[in-house]
A and B are shown apart, each in its own frame.
Chain A
């Protein structure tokens, strides 16, 4: 099934491409596995060497955090949007 990955500006500006990517996958884990192959730099900024989402990154399926769902094993349905937000430091 096709879902959309929406990247915060800090991520898409520095990983190339636009804010939205269309990816196939039945779970967040599957989508991220494809991301690792297609865009390893982006993947590395989201997940650490163990495959876990970095503590300063928030991943949402639509508007719910995957920490409140089933983590990387959160199931997806067609049309879902995965939003990846990186921490913002400045002020």
Chain B
């Protein structure tokens, strides 16, 4: 016997006011020996081609075999595979999302290991590019997945050069410039995206469905000015908070890629991990008519030059990116640097060196982009770049 009842599934919420965020579900309650039949009623997992590793999530009735099959043919673009991105990538890969594209400009450092779950000490010692290290870790989890790793700063050019258009974009970034770019790309192209952000023990997550729900610009018309907010440097970040935000992003991604759009949580999820509090604001918020992206269909991040020198959140580092594209002759530059610098290390696609006084370390990539470690002073980083790399290296 199986009884269908409507159950209000509440997310415990505490924001000073009592608030219940309900997700109405039709749940079949197994009364006696009905558990097997609940799955069989949806679809026989094996008959539906579900792999044994996904049996448990398929057994969860609201998800089921049909959603699992859709996952297998879906494609998620994860921009940034640091804290949030590595958690989300891990979950989506294990869940069976057939294709993942990982984009990250950064390299693994020891300070990442506290919260960036796809990396280990060997990655940090080697200073491996995060996208490559993450892709390798994911392939070890499921070798059948199609995973592309792009070691690059994410910009419009990167997006346009993707080998395939994604069904979903996931925000694993740590800066607003890239988030607004993701937003504008998503709204202009009609691609859903899932915003996520975390600092300290606090986080945000929000599904953006172009034309259906409010976008990032709807809820925050302008990015905070430099220095207006705490960063990972000043406020730190706790891994459990990262995990909570990434869990929301991941689950909404699975619903969306699984074709369960009517089950998506629509609104701004606000997480205070320290107080075990989760709240939903802007529930069912629609695109705003006064939003520059949703209303005016103007996409500033697609037309304005991005900052070419940006401080990296929590890294004591600055990324310097030359305005003009072009490959750098790394070997030639290494030879020219000679003993003007120390610790020269030339590897495939990467040149590392340090200033003689130890005040900065530079990792230069073949596309001319550099990470200048040792300070978050963007002007100083630009000067270091100009002094040791400059146009002469390209």
Write the nearest CB–CB distance from A9 to chain B, whole angstroms: 4
**Residues of chain B with a CB closer than 8 A to A4's CB:** 16-17
**Are B270 and A85 in contact, with the CB atoms below 8 A?**
yes
Q: Complex formed: what's the CA distance from A22 to B229 in Å?
A: 25
Q: Complex formed: what's the CA distance from A56 to B197 in Å?
A: 14
Q: Is residue B98 within 8 Å, beta carbon to beta carbon, of the partner chain?
A: no
Write the nearest CB–CB distance from A67 to chain B, whole angstroms: 8
Q: Complex formed: what's the CA distance from A77 to B363 in Å?
A: 57
Instruction: Choose the segment among A26-34, A35-43, A57-65 that binds chain B (4+ C-beta atoms closer than 8 Å).
Output: A57-65
Choose among A9, A14, A81, A91 the residue that contacts B197 (Cβ–Cβ < 8 A): A91
* Cross-chain pair count, CB within 8 angstroms: 115
Q: Is residue B41 within 8 Å, beta carbon to beta carbon, of the partner chain?
A: no
Given A6-B17, A55-B220; A90-B314 close (CB under 8 Å): yes
**Are A91 and B83 in contact, with the CB atoms below 8 A?**
yes
Q: Complex formed: what's the CA distance from A55 to B219 in Å?
A: 9
**Residues of chain B with a CB closer than 8 A to A81's CB:** 15-17
**Are B202 and A89 in contact, with the CB atoms below 8 A?**
no
Choose among A6, A9, A60, A65 the residue that contacts B202 (Cβ–Cβ < 8 A): A9
Instruction: Choose the segment among B22-30, B119-127, B168-176, B333-341 that binds chain A (4+ C-beta atoms closer than 8 Å).
Output: B168-176
**Residues of chain A with a CB closer than 8 A to B279's CB:** 63
Q: Indicate the member of A8, A85, A86, A88 with the most B CB atoms within 10 Å.
A: A88
**Residues of chain A with a CB closer than 8 A to B198's CB:** 88, 90-91
Q: Complex formed: what's the CA distance from A81 to B222 in Å?
A: 25
**Are B17 and A91 in contact, with the CB atoms below 8 A?**
no
Write the nearest CB–CB distance from B252 to chain A, whole angstroms: 16
Given A85-B270, A89-B174; A58-B221 close (CB under 8 Å): no
**Residues of chain B with a CB closer than 8 A to A20's CB:** 16
Q: Is residue A10 within 8 Å, beta carbon to beta carbon, of the partner chain?
A: yes
**Are B229 and A19 in contact, with the CB atoms below 8 A?**
no
Write the nearest CB–CB distance from A11 to chain B, whole angstroms: 10
Tell me which residues from 75 to 91 in chain A have a Cβ below 8 Å from any Cβ of chain B.
81, 83, 85-91
**Are A88 and B202 in contact, with the CB atoms below 8 A?**
yes
The chain A residue with its CB closest to the CB of B220 is: A56
**Are A56 and B274 in contact, with the CB atoms below 8 A?**
no
**Residues of chain A with a CB closer than 8 A to B268's CB:** 58, 85
**Are B197 and A90 in contact, with the CB atoms below 8 A?**
yes
Given A55-B222, A56-B222, A91-B174; A19-B16 close (CB under 8 Å): yes
Q: Render B148-191 as a binary contact track against A, CB cut-off 8 A, 1 for contact.
A: 00000000000000000000000111111000000000000000
**Are B235 and A83 in contact, with the CB atoms below 8 A?**
no
Q: Is residue B85 within 8 Å, beta carbon to beta carbon, of the partner chain?
A: yes
Interface residues of A (CB under 8 A from B): 4, 6, 8-10, 13-14, 19-20, 54-56, 58, 60, 62-63, 65, 81, 83, 85-91
Interface residues of B (CB under 8 A from A): 15-17, 19, 80, 82-85, 171-176, 196-204, 219-224, 228-232, 235, 237, 268, 270, 272, 274-275, 279-283, 285, 313-314
Q: 27 interchain pairs (CB within 8 A)?
A: A6-B15, A6-B16, A8-B202, A9-B274, A10-B200, A10-B235, A13-B200, A13-B235, A14-B230, A55-B220, A56-B220, A58-B219, A58-B268, A62-B19, A81-B16, A85-B204, A85-B270, A88-B199, A88-B229, A89-B230, A90-B174, A90-B199, A90-B232, A90-B237, A91-B83, A91-B171, A91-B174
Given contacts A55-B224, A85-B281, 18 further A-B contacts (CB under 8 A): A6-B16, A6-B17, A10-B202, A10-B235, A14-B230, A19-B16, A54-B228, A58-B219, A58-B268, A83-B15, A83-B281, A87-B176, A87-B197, A88-B204, A89-B230, A90-B313, A91-B174, A91-B198
